[in-house]
Chains A and B, each alone.
Chain A
Amino acid sequence: MEKYDVSIIGGGSAGLAALKRLSSLGKQAVLLEGGEKIGSKNISGGILYSKKPKKGKAYNVEDIYENFLTDAPYERKITKYILNATSKDKVFSIDLTAAHNYEANFGCSVLMNKLNNWFAQQAEEAAQKQGGGIVSGVHVSAIRWEGEKTIIQTDELEEIEVKAVIAADGVNSEIAYMTGARQKFSPSQIYQGVKVVVKLPEDIMAQRFSIGPDEGAAHLFAGDVTLNHIGGGFLYTNRDTLSVGGVYHLDSLLENPAEPYEIVNALLRNPMISEFIKDEVPLRGEIDKNVAKEEQMRIRFAVTKMIKTWTELRDAYYSKNKREKIIAEGKYSSAEEMESQLSSIRDQMSTKYGIKFGTDYIEEEYSAKLVPDGKRCRMEKPYFKNILFVGDAAGRGVFVGPRIEGLNVGIDDAARAAEAVARTLDRNNFSDDHLGQYYLQSVEQSPYTHDLKSIDKDYLKIFLDAAKDVPKDIISSKYGMVIKMMSSKTLRNFAVGFANILGYEKLLPIIETVDTYVKVPTEIAERLGTSMSSSYTPTIPSIAQRIAKLKYNDDSKSHIKVLKPTSEFMKKMIVLCPTKCYFMEKEGVMIQHEGCIECGTCSEETDWKHPAGEKGINYQYG
């Protein structure tokens, strides 16, 4: 049996950070990832933060990857952070940039496939020097102990023996379930996150959001766009795409089931968002059915090719970097030449093939994943024997109000786990709970753990302060009291103090309600918002079209087995599964696993495993 010092299970941002850190500390580690390639299974919103907490120290992304700021393919540094309250066509915006900047060095928008690939390159280089590395397309199916030996079993490769394990296998951690280190998360402990990636050329984006080439905007949405669920929507600017989605508490979705894609659609249909995402798109003309079949095919292929050429050139034309690159390569002599070529292709498209141009939006990828609500579900004891749990697997993510932070927390955990393992390897003491206890202590010192236990009153104050400009004259409304309170400095301070006295646990059921997430914002928008209108109606793809666009490596076997086909929970999955995998038959609820995107929503009442190595969903953006 082959032997390695450490095995890391899961190659998301947390697992990769653990590999990089361990390798930098001179230890040999192999990372095993189920997806065909690194990044194919990871999704986020997402904004990756680097923090400078007032108390304690967090390991930031640039502590793990020294060249992060200069070399990493992050999308944009977020410089504008705005909360939008919505009610039908009305929107009332509140600037929350202060909350975004709170204790932060920076926050940048990211797409996980691209970013994790970069992390993997860095980590792998360091790991290879220690005789370790990354192996993808491998699904860890079991871990067993034989005397001193810890043996990792996978579906694809021969077993290996290791001294310690870092479990970074995400929110649906099989390692956690099979060892009994923790229970599956219950609906009250998790959010369902759903997202679409929309294409938008770089320069058009910069102009539309009034941001410079290296700046970015983040918009959050509350109010009726949530279709009455606890949680909120987001729209983040990437380099040449937008991430639009929402994160909603699963118990609130179970109480009031709505199709996840309908919740995303509600966002897309909001006039403010419709206007943000719109672009000029070519519309294929009908091909004359009377001409020969071969000719129809030739036309179809030619049209596809023209649209592709036009789109690629246009994307390049609207991007400073790409434009300069193309000109430097000598393909075009100037931007003007590109422009005239663009318009000549465009003319050809319309005259030769009857292609029209209209306003719409272009959706690239639909995705979904559970998100652990760390303040409700973090593992109190994030280890089992010599396995340390990090990131989503340990249920650690800070979600307070508009704050959505899982990436930075996972990276901090990973660094702590790596250090604990390295230290234990040096002392060669794997007896008792040494490793686990040391890791636990370190995690307890993390500022994020502090945030998961108690509310930060300075942060709360910023949030309340932001609402101070809401005029007091809406006192007559049902929620006027709340708003009035927020507009008075004394009362704001009082609210903060009160929150502290009450304590986190008691406060949560008061703060995280439909009232705060939906009703108050709706009321504010209704009374104070500006009416917006959209210049077009976005053509929203059906769920079938969305699934058809995704890439899968088909698995003939289902990785999910329905255990309780007639339970209420499973019946609700017919609605809540983001890709409509469940349907009703005479015998009860059945699954058709082919379209599954492994979000984990149905996990509570099913026998849920990740697919075998390489199989299943293969995200291109994430």
Chain B
Amino acid sequence: MDLINIAVIVKLEPDFSEGNVSYNPDGTLNRAETKNILGPHSAIAVNAAFYAKVKHGAKISIATMGPPTAESMLQQAQLMSDADELYLYSDRVFAGADTLATAEVLKSGILKMQEKMDIVFSGHRASDGETGQTGPQTAWKLGMTFLGNVIDYEIDPAKRIVRVKRFVRLQGIYDVVEEMEVPLPVFIAIDPSYKPKFNTVSQRLAYEKYQKEARVRSQNFKQYLKVLNALQIGADPKLIGIAGSPTIVYKVERIPKGKATRQAEVIDGQDKEQIRKVVARIRQSLSTMVIK
């Protein structure tokens, strides 16, 4: 049985938690002051890859396009997944890339990886103003079958297929679960609701073993890291950076606040009487609600 090869594309994002994020006086994000971390959606993709490592001992390669400081994020991703290889595509010429130009870099990078990938994972989307396009565009450029909104997957290494469950919209109804069997290789954009499940003691022991290995590896992450520029990944200069970006962000505007129609009432949480009244009100509202 062949080793399963997995690549994950991840993205550096600002840490929006209180105490880490800084804003400029005009309300925009102060990028220089704000810490950058592995984006939450990317983290889920990394988790999905780790699942294959625990279950099948898959080989994991994690790649990102970003500034040299993105190294520490790859280290973080390695800590989560015990990745075998880390790739940072970093080059001045990548600057100003939109999602399409980013996809070009990632595609070139993935094609340069040692093995042919069985699965490439991406996050659902980024939380700092992205549109969820990088994943599908990379898949398209790689010519891989794209599976979006995947909430669960199982690899069958012997048959070389993957069974996935994904959310789809059917006749206007959201979150219908579609199950499908697809031959490898595939590109999977993982849904935020994905949660890996390990149901046997042996899987859980393997999980612990790889986690431990990951801690050791991530402490020496540079041994696993390759920093590559445009030339090294053989990206077409016309398709990367500003040159390869058809989208230009003209201006980011704050979405005006809608007029609130709710009437808020301040309740003292310490006061039992007041809380009782709240409960009574909720009960009342519920009783008048008709579920169609």
Contacts from A to B (Cβ < 8 Å): 2, 4, 30, 124, 128, 132-135, 138, 156-158, 160, 294-295, 297-298, 300-302, 304-305, 308, 544
* Docked CA distance A517–B204 (Å): 48
Closest to A304 in B: B19
Given the interface contacts A2-B200, A133-B208, does A305 sit within 8 Å of B20 by beta carbon? yes
Binds A, one of B22-30, B119-127, B171-179: B22-30
Known: A2-B200, A298-B27, A544-B270. A134 touches B22 (CB 8 A): no
* CB neighbours of B27 from chain A (8 A): 294, 298
Chain B residues, Cβ within 8 Å of A133: 205, 208-209
Contact residue among A124, A300, A544 (Cβ-Cβ distance under 8 Å from B208): A124
Q: A302–B205 contact, CB under 8 A?
A: no
Closest partner residue, chain A, to B269 (CB atom): A544
- Tell whether, in the assembled complex, residue A134 and residue B208 are in contact, meaning their CB atoms are under 8 Å apart: yes
Besides A4-B201, A156-B199, A301-B19, 13 more A-B contacts (Cβ < 8 Å) are A2-B201, A30-B201, A30-B205, A128-B205, A135-B201, A138-B204, A157-B200, A157-B201, A160-B201, A298-B23, A305-B19, A544-B269, A544-B270
- Nearest-neighbor residue (CB-CB) of A124 within chain B: B208
CB-CB under 8 A from B199, the residues of chain A are 156-158
Question: B residues engaging A (CB < 8 A)?
Answer: 18-23, 25, 27, 198-202, 204-205, 208-209, 212, 269-270
Q: Nearest B residue to A30 by beta-carbon distance? A: B201
- A128 CA to B19 CA, complexed, in Å: 40
Task: State the CA gap A133–B212 with chains docked (Å).
Answer: 12
User: Which residues of B sit under 8 angstroms from A134, Cβ to Cβ?
Assistant: 208
Contact B204 A305 (CB under 8 A): no
Given the known A-B contacts A160-B201, A301-B18, are A135 and B208 also in contact in the complex, defined by CB atoms under 8 Å?
yes
A308 touches B212 (CB 8 A): no
In the complex, A133 Cα to B201 Cα: how many Å?
9
B20: nearest residue on chain A (CB-CB)?
Answer: A305
- Closest chain A CB from B42 CB (angstroms): 23
The answer to whether B201 touches A298 (Cβ under 8 A) is no
A583 to B277, CA, bound (A): 17
A158–B18 Cα distance when bound, in Å, is 40
**A residues within 8 A CB of B25?**
295, 298
Query: How far does the alpha carbon of A300 sit from the alpha carbon of B209 in the complex, in Å?
Result: 42
Q: List 28 A-B contacts (CB under 8 A).
A: A2-B200, A2-B201, A2-B202, A30-B205, A124-B208, A128-B205, A128-B209, A133-B205, A133-B208, A135-B204, A135-B205, A138-B204, A157-B199, A157-B201, A157-B204, A158-B199, A158-B201, A294-B23, A294-B27, A298-B23, A298-B27, A300-B18, A301-B22, A304-B19, A305-B22, A308-B19, A544-B269, A544-B270
The complex places the Cα of A321 from the Cα of B77 at a distance, in Å, of 29
CB distance from A70 to the nearest CB of B (A): 21
Closest chain-A Cβ to B17's Cβ sits at a distance in Å of: 10
Of A124, A132, A138, A544, which one neighbours B212 at CB under 8 angstroms? A124
- In the assembled complex, which residues on chain A have CB atoms less than 8 Å from the CB atom of B18? 300-301, 304
Q: Is the CB of A301 within 8 A of B200?
A: no
Determine the distance from Cα of A51 to Cα of B161 in the docked complex, in whole angstroms. Answer: 60
Taken together as a complex, chains A and B put the C-alpha atoms of A26 and B19 apart, in Å, by: 48
Neighbouring A residues of B22 by C-beta, 8 Å: 301-302, 305
Please give me the residue from chain B that is nearest to A305 by CB atom. B19
CB distance from B18 to the nearest CB of A (A): 5
- Return chain B residues, CB-CB under 8 Å to A158: 199-201
The distance in angstroms between the C-alpha atoms of A128 and B20, with both chains bound, is 38
A138 CA / B201 CA spacing, docked (Å): 10
A297 to B27, CA, bound (A): 10
Query: Which chain A residue has the least Cβ–Cβ distance from B212?
Result: A124
* Chain A residue with Cβ nearest B200: A158
Min Cβ gap A460→B in Å is 47
Chain B residues within an 8 Å CB radius of A544: 269-270
* Cα A4 to Cα B18 with chains together (Å): 46
Residues of chain B contacted by A138 (CB below 8 angstroms)? 204
Query: Taking the nearest CB of chain A, how far is it from the CB of B84, in angstroms?
Result: 20
- In the complex, A124 Cα to B210 Cα: how many Å? 13
What chain A residues lie within 8 Å of B198 (beta carbons)?
Answer: 157
Closest B residue to A128 by beta carbon equals B209
Name the residue among A4, A124, A135 with the largest chain B CB count within 10 angstroms: A135
**In the complex, A134→B199 CA distance in Å?**
14
Q: Which residue of the partner chain B has the closest CB to A120?
A: B208
Q: A458–B165 Cα gap in the complex (Å)? A: 70
Distance in Å: Cβ of A75 to nearest Cβ of chain B = 24
- Nearest A residue (CB) for B207: A135
* CA–CA, A132 and B209, complex, Å: 11
Q: Which residue of A lies closest to B23 (CB)?
A: A298
- CB closest residue in chain A, given B202: A2
**Measured CA separation A157–B20 after assembly (Å):** 38
Which residue of the partner chain, among B21, B209, B212, B270, contacts A301 with CB atoms under 8 Å? B21
Residues of A within 8 A of B270 (CB): 544
Q: Are B201 and A301 in contact (CB under 8 A)?
A: no
Q: How far is the CA of A571 from the CA of B21 in the complex (A)?
A: 47
**Residues in B neighbouring A295, C-beta threshold 8 A:** 25
Cα distance A138–B200 when bound, in Å? 11
Query: Whole-angstrom distance between the alpha carbons of A156 and B200 in the complex?
Result: 9
Chain B nearest CB: distance from A61 CB in Å? Answer: 23
**Cα-based distance from A590 to B24 in the complex (angstroms):** 50
Given A158-B200, A544-B270: A301 in contact with B208 (beta carbons within 8 A) = no
B272 to chain A, nearest CB (A): 8
CA–CA, A458 to B136, complex, Å?
Answer: 78
Which of A128, A134, A160, A298 has most chain B Cβ within 10 Å? Answer: A298
How far does the alpha carbon of A294 sit from the alpha carbon of B28 in the complex, in Å?
10
Chain B residue numbers with a CB within 8 Å of A156 are 199
B262 to chain A, nearest CB (A): 16
Q: Please give me the 4 A-B residue pairs with the lowest Cβ-Cβ distance, nearest first.
A: A135-B204, A133-B205, A304-B19, A298-B23
Q: Determine the distance from Cα of A298 to Cα of B28 in the docked complex, in whole angstroms.
A: 10
